Amino acid sequence: MTHQAPAIGCCGPVTTDAPIAVTINPEARVNVARSGAPIGTLTPGEWHTVAVTVVNDGFVTGPLAVEAEPVNGLHLELPDHELTGEHRQDAAFRVRLDSPTIVDVTLTFRALGALGGLANHSTINLLLSAQ
């Protein structure tokens, strides 16, 4: 069964199966939101993919970067995603926790190396759990 959950982006709700939705407005400002789709419980020592839906209302092309401060016991693979100008694209990043734990990580999304959205709209906090 597919779980379609809305996330509120800059220009309205985004229906997605991904736990994270990124919306890019015509000025290339990035807004990120958590949808209701679960990330799920992670297995310690294993890589897990976290899906991201990108809604590109500005039809922006170029890199979409994800940045994070280091967190002890958490490994992240945050590759740049190339925005093609398509209105909707899929992206992802990978996470691995060393041991059974719960961590809080702050992710910042940037398009074209810009500062992101207004205030802290381009950042999201994720609580990740490995059992």
Pairing of strands 61-68, 81-84: antiparallel
Pairing of strands 20-24, 48-56: parallel
- Per the structure, the count of domains in the chain is 1
The highest-confidence range among 3-7, 47-51, 115-119, by mean pLDDT, is: 47-51
Q: What is the CATH number of the domain that holds 121?
A: 2.60.40.10
Site of tokens 């069964």: 1
Structural domain containing residue 62: 5-130
Structure confidence by residue, pLDDT tens digits, 51-107: 999 999 989 999 999 999 999 999 999 999 999 999 999 999 999 999 999 999 999
